[in-house]
Chains A and B, each alone.
Chain A
Amino acid sequence: MNNNQLTPLSEEEEQLAAGYVLGDLTDAEVTRLEQLLVDNPALQQEIQAVQTSLDLLSQALPTVPAPASLRAKIVDAPAIAPVLTPPSSRRSGALLKGLAGLGAIALLLLGADNWRLRYQLGLAQQVSSDRVAAILQQPNSRLIALTANDSAAAGTLLFTPGRWQEVIVSFGDLPPLPPDQVYRMWLALENGEIIYCGEFNTESDGSVFVRFTPPETPPQGVKATELFVTIDASADAPDPAGTRVMEGTI
């Protein structure tokens, strides 16, 4: 927990910690932060402290009492459902299917020192037309079709083989999700691994147009075989065993 014996931080380290929490680090700064974080528990603790400072900011607001009528709507709502429900067989099946990739994903997500991945997972980027043009100008750029299992949703993914660092996705008729859920995209490899690409929400008309810079790329020589999209709770860590709603073969 709190350790006052840690080495004092430099101005640069404090700047990087603040930039990390604000999500505004440049690529060079992420690389520098990764270097500094090696064997530097003081810097790791500082990031937590800065994050906490920001997380608590909303509790400085002057309190506006909630309307009295709201309490009745919440407290007198119909009975609360039991919390612990057994997983559905569908989900269990999906879990087994995704099991092969889970080890790799878990390592990626939980690796204590993988700050770049955590940072990049926390960010996403909007699409600019020049990025689409840049990919389309590659002679070998490809479009992969994705279709939905049980809806009219359809879409395409644009990428350049060998350059998985940047992909662009366009979907239509994908149902908007409740605010606490997100769509997540995954890439399945021929060796059974599953790579997380990023998450997105639809516009109100069901359309999606996003650019991903997946933090992980397929290992050299390992082919990607399939793309799929899952629905997940936005508060959950990415999990490839979520309900699949769209798939496409590469």
Chain B
Amino acid sequence: MFCFYTAPEAPPFSMALMSPNASDIELIESLRSGNPDALAGIYDRYGSLVYTIALKILKYPAEAEDLTQEIFLNLPDKEKFDPKRAALSTYLSVLARSRALNRLSSHGSQQRSLQKLKRLLPDRSHVTPLEQASQAERKTTLQQALATLPDQHRTILEMNFFQGLSHAEIAQQLNIPLGTVKSKARKGLMDLRQHLGEAVQ
């Protein structure tokens, strides 16, 4: 059904002292051993991914830049990423979303629950095929899966996911009953997962 390959992502820029074909795991190991060139390699691969997510949530380029900078500059000190449980791209994208929503919350919205933010990457045991695919292939697959959802299901999922809005807040904004929001959010997620099939197993 899906045909993913596990080749490392090709960086857009050349990296001094690091092979452009270095795997994500090699880059992280190199970074952890104190090689600053590894940071350039990781940034070249995933800088725009993190920036894109930060901008989507925070809206302002300056804030998105600031968060992207924070995430990458703190990366060397982080021992949390476990390559057996998730791909580096997953770790960075979950981290970017979590930190961006946290910033929104700290800006003082009374309505926004801090606690949409679960602990990062809970309950994971392995890296899935979709995470091992190239960024382009992963994006296409996810966009196709999202496109199969009814508009309102997708809208509700995205409001919850990218704006950190509770179901009650979404019900208010869309002027539909809370129970409807809840059932459509679940159905949307179930359908998304169904469409992705073995790629996320």
Contact = CB atoms under 8 A, between A and B. Distances in A.
A1 B56 CA distance: 33
Q: Which 8 A-B pairs have the closest CB atoms?
A: A60-B142, A66-B51, A124-B115, A122-B118, A53-B193, A18-B186, A52-B200, A75-B40
A121 B122 CA distance: 11
Given A74-B69, A122-B118, A57 B201 contact: no
Interface string A80-97: 111110000000000000
| Residue of B32, B72, B103, B119 with most chain A CB atoms under a 10 A cut-off | B119
B97 A58 contact: yes
A148 interface: no
Given A54-B189, A59-B135, A179-B102, A82 B200 contact: no
A73 to B, nearest CB: 6
15 contacts: A18-B193, A23-B115, A23-B118, A49-B128, A49-B196, A50-B193, A59-B93, A63-B48, A64-B52, A80-B34, A83-B31, A83-B76, A125-B115, A203-B108, A234-B102
B119 A58 contact: no
Given A24-B185, A234-B102, A235-B120, A56 B130 contact: yes
Given A18-B189, A67-B51, A234-B102, 5 more contacts: A53-B200, A54-B189, A56-B130, A57-B146, A59-B49
A125 B114 CA distance: 9
Interface string A213-235: 00000000000000000000111
B161 A58 contact: yes
Contact of B108 (A23, A77, A204): A204
Interface string B101-118: 011011110000111111
Interface string B66-101: 011110111011111000001001100111111100
A243 interface: no
A153 to B, nearest CB: 17
A138 interface: no
Interface residues of B, number: 90
B143 interface: yes
A160 interface: no
Nearest to B81: A235
A215 to B, nearest CB: 13
B61 A57 contact: no
Contact of B119 (A80, A204, A237): A237
Contact of B53 (A15, A45, A61): A61
Contacts of A64: 48, 51-52, 55
Contact of B139 (A60, A126, A235): A60
B95 A80 contact: no
B194 to A, nearest CB: 8
Among A180, A201, A235, residue most surrounded by chain B Cβ atoms (within 10 Å): A235
B18 to A, nearest CB: 12
Nearest to A177: B106
Contacts of A15: 186, 190
Interface in B1-60: 31-34, 36, 39-40, 43-44, 47-53, 55-56
A60 B65 contact: no
A21 interface: yes
A22 interface: yes
A125 B77 CA distance: 31
A79 interface: yes
